[in-house]
Amino acid sequence: MYPFAYHRPKSLAEASELLAADEDTKLLAGGMSLVPVMRHRLARPAALIDLADIAELAAIGSKDGKLWIGAMATHFAVSRSALVQAQIPALAKLAGGIGDPLVRNRGTIGGSLAHNDPAACYPSAVLGLAATIHTSVRAIPADDFIVDSFETALAPGEIITGVSFPRPEAAAYVKFANLSSRFSIVGVFLARSGGEIRVSITGAGRHAFRASALEAALGANFTPEAARAVTVSATDLLADIHASAEYRAHLIPELTARAVVQCLTPDPA
């Protein structure tokens, strides 16, 4: 590692002031992405602003009829929240399947979204659920938030404060995971609400994206057979040591079909 300044503000206003004072400063949420990058010297910020002491950023509750998850809520907190389990159980399941216990206890939803790893789970959830990402200065619809691999619509000096999720009629998340990292080789988040079908994919492209062909097919016929009948092009999909682009293209409709089955299966609870 190398020398850097460390700040631990007690309020969002203080954090915003520190961030504005030096452009070579990084926000520290859970640190599950930033610290490894710094350790490998791929990033060398002059200062870190640790958001851990800003209690309001970790809140989980309801706001304006939507589920609210604060940016500093850990994956573990989201997975164990009775409110999340009651309103959007698929989101609780997604959070509970991220990484290992260390990552789930330290990693945060805000940090994951700001980092926007192409194989991360939360980007597919915000797209699939038509969520809104709230920052210190504005509200950004999920469809506008993700720009490219590791790139978002966040402007310099902007801090994610939380995410608001409308409650769907049914939702499911199905992930074909890398067994060592638990990142998605392909992950599918499916949500059905008010006649609208949203299907979002992670792990298969440069960033999470919506699958319009699957949305159209399921809008006409919400069955696993309809999902499996869709042919997904391998063009522009990722190919690496874990899976070819063609295999990822095969997985997308199959995992979507499994998500449909989950949406159609009554919760035994």
Torsion angle, CA of 208/212/213/219, rounded to 10 degrees?
Answer: 120
32: domain range?
Answer: 1-49
Give the other-Cβ count within 10 Å of 168's Cβ. 22
Confidence class for position 33, pLDDT limits 50, 70, 90 = confident
Confidence class for position 2, pLDDT limits 50, 70, 90 = confident
Q: For residue 2, tell me if it sits in a domain.
A: yes
pLDDT digits (tens, 9 = 90+) for 106-143: 999 999 999 999 999 999 999 999 999 999 999 999 99
**In whole angstroms, what is the distance from residue 220 CA to residue 232 CA?**
17
pLDDT at 176: 97
Q: For residue 62, tell me if it sits in a domain.
A: no
pLDDT digits (tens, 9 = 90+) for 139-186: 999 999 999 999 999 999 999 999 999 999 999 999 999 988 889 999
Q: Out of 49, 66, 85, pick the residue that ends a domain.
A: 49
Q: The domain spanning residue 39 has which CATH number?
A: 3.30.43.10
Give the residue among 113, 78, 118 at the shortest CA–CA distance from 238.
118
Q: For residue 6, tell me if it sits in a domain.
A: yes
Amino acid (1-letter code) at residue 150: F
Q: For residue 34, tell me if it sits in a domain.
A: yes
pLDDT digits (tens, 9 = 90+) for 45-92: 999 999 999 999 999 999 999 999 999 999 999 999 999 999 999 999
Q: Could you tell me the pTM of the whole model? A: 0.94
Tell me if 78 sits within 8 A of 72, measured CB to CB.
no
Q: Out of 49, 64, 86, pick the residue that ends a domain.
A: 49
* Total number of domains constituting the chain: 2
Q: Out of 29, 49, 69, pick the residue that ends a domain.
A: 49
Q: For residue 198, tell me if it sits in a domain.
A: yes
Q: For residue 22, tell me if it sits in a domain.
A: yes
Q: The domain spanning residue 192 has which CATH number?
A: 3.30.390.50
